[in-house]
Each structure stands twice: as structure tokens, then as C-alpha cells.
């Protein structure tokens, strides 16, 4: 399960998030992904409230956290919680990176390689099989294969999953994010999806990837064409969500980071879609 709402920015919400994490574990979800560029520390309330699930950052931005600090905290958290923390990290978006004063801000691939080397040589290194990378293009996917457990692509289609699997090979983990809008009213559901997607269509790394997949500039107008929405979301009923999930898994995904989109993501505090999580727990193949 992937959610911005699982990020514990407000200490007063830690009890609520812990309760939600415990329920997600009981429902059968195997991994909880914290969205919104979280730190390692933001995984702790979820880990403390669960016994079996993996908790991952999706994704920790390399521009915001020093590698040595991340490595040290990673080791402490995993020692305290039985190795259940997975470090998902990446370079965020070009528009964000270019505002950074890092000397490699204009060379995100090189910056990520340098960061991985720093994790490798830290006093408490982060093992390769305890980190995964946000990756869309071929070079980042190859880096995910060669220097991490695998890849965490966001806003992708089954076609991208198949291409990523070909690049990663059979052994690397491929865990794409998977958006679901549960609403039986097609017009209302598409409006929710478009409102959410419009932000990402303003970010070059996503539109470049979608263009590589055969979409055109006109597919990005007005929050996304029907064709784009149908390729990148599961829209409608729980049965639709299961069908689309099966397509992603058949294309080569090992695991889906399921994100429920409700249209209320801008509310503060972020609403946890717990009713929708329960519904999907009955519909999706949670063993994956």
C-alpha cells in the first residue's frame, strides 16, 4: 500500500497512523510505502505498530538527506525492528533538483551513483538488498538492477512494466506504484483521476517517460486523455482494480504499491482511505 497519508509530519497523528498500519497488516498488505519524500524516521511509527510488514520510503530524496546520516539511521531502525525497513530513494523531479545547490543538481544520474557509493562506504553501509531506486528510464533501471534490490517506478503502465522487467532481468525486484480510483460513476471517477494526474503532467520526468511509451503531447492536455487515464489508473469497481492489477503483474511486476486516489488528497491532515483499503483487500491478490 502506497500513501501520502502514512507520512507522520505531525507527531499528534502518530497514534492514528500506527492504528492504520496495524489494520493494513491485519488485512494482508505486505508492504507499506510512505509517499511524499519521507525521511527514515517517518517509518518508525508504522514499524512500531506492526510485527510483520515491510515499511519503505517512496521515495527519500537524495537532495534532502546526507548519505552518512541516512545510512546510520537505516542501521538503527532495522536493528530495532527486525530488518523490516526498506530504503527507497531517488532524485525526485528535475524541477526540484535544479533548485538545489548540490554540484550535481543538473546531473541526477551521476548524483545518485555518488550517493549510492556514499551509502556503500558509510561506517554503517546500507546493503544493496535493503535499498531500491525510483526509476523510469533505461539508465536508472540499469542502476536499480546493478546497485540496488530493484526499482520503484511511479506513474507507469503495463507496457512500461514489461520494458522495465526486460532491463532489470529476472532477479531484481520491480514494484511499480499502481493508482486506483474506486467510484462506479465513470464521469466522476475520471474527474478525480484527472485532478490528481494534472500535477504530475507538469513534471518533465513523467511526461518524457510517457512520450517514450507512445503517448503524445495532446494526451497531457486537461489533466490527461481517456487513453492515458485508462493506461495508468484502475478506475471504477474493485473488479476493475483486480483486472488491472493482474495486467501489471502479468507484465512483470513482483509487487504493486497500491495508491488509492480519492480526490481529497489536498485535505490537511491527509485523509487515510481506510474503507477503500478494506475493499481492495478483498479484491486484490495481496500475496503479491
pLDDT tens per residue across span 98-108: 556 666 667 89
pTM of the model: 0.95
Write out pLDDT tens, residues 199-245. Answer: 999 999 999 999 999 999 999 999 999 999 999 999 999 999 999 99
Residue 204 and residue 95 in contact, taking contact as beta carbons nearer than 8 Å: yes
Read off the pLDDT of residues 49-84 as tens digits, 9 standing for 90 and up.
999 999 999 999 999 999 999 999 999 999 999 999
Which secondary-structure segment (H or E) carries 14? helix 14-27
Residue pair 263/184 in contact (Cβ under 8 Å)? The answer is: no
In this prediction, residue 288 has a pLDDT band, given cuts at 50, 70 and 90, of very low
Widest distance between CA atoms in the chain = 54
104 vs 175, more confident: 175
Amino acid at each position: 500500500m502506497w500513501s501520502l497519508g502514512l507520512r507522520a509530519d505531525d507527531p499528534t497523528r502518530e497514534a492514528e497512523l500506527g492504528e492504520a498500519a496495524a489494520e493494513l497488516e491485519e488485512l494482508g498488505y505486505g508492504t507499506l510505502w510512505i509517499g511524499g519524500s519521507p525521511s527514515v524516521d517517518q517509518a518508525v511509527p508504522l514499524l512500531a505498530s506492526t510485527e510483520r510488514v515491510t515499511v519503505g520510503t517512496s521515495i527519500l530524496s537524495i537532495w534532502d538527506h546526507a548519505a552518512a546520516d541516512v545510512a546510520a539511521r537505516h542501521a538503527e531502525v532495522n536493528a530495532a525492528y527486525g530488518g523490516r525497513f526498506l530504503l527507497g530513494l531517488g532524485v525526485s523531479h528535475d524541477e526540484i533538483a535544479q533548485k538545489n545547490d548540490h554540484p550535481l543538481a543538473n546531473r541526477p544520474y551521476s548524483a545518485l551513483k555518488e550517493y549510492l557509493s556514499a551509502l556503500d562506504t558509510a561506517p554503517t553501509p546500507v546493503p544493496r538488498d535493503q535499498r531500491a531506486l525510483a526509476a523510469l528510464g533505461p539508465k536508472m533501471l540499469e542502476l536499480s538492477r546493478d546497485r540496488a534490490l530493484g526499482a520503484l517506478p511511479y506513474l507507469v503502465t503495463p507496457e512500461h512494466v514489461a520494458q522495465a522487467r526486460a532491463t532489470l532481468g529476472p532477479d531484481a525486484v520491480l514494484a511499480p506504484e499502481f493508482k486506483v480510483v474506486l467510484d462506479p460513476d465513470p464521469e466522476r471517477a475520471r474527474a478525480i483521476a484527472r485532478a490528481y494526474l494534472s500535477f504530475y503532467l507538469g513534471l518533465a520526468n513523467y511526461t518524457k517517460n510517457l512520450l517514450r511509451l507512445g503517448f503524445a503531447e495532446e494526451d497531457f492536455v486537461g489533466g490527461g486523455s481517456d487513453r492515458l487515464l485508462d493506461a495508468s489508473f484502475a478506475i471504477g469497481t474493485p473488479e476493475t482494480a483486480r483486472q488491472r492489477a493482474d495486467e501489471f503483474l502479468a507484465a512483470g511486476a513482483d509487487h504493486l504499491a497500491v495508491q488509492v486516489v480519492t480526490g481529497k488528497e489536498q485535505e490537511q491532515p491527509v485523509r487515510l482511505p481506510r474503507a477503500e483499503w478494506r475493499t481492495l483487500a478483498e479484491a486484490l491478490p495481496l500475496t503479491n
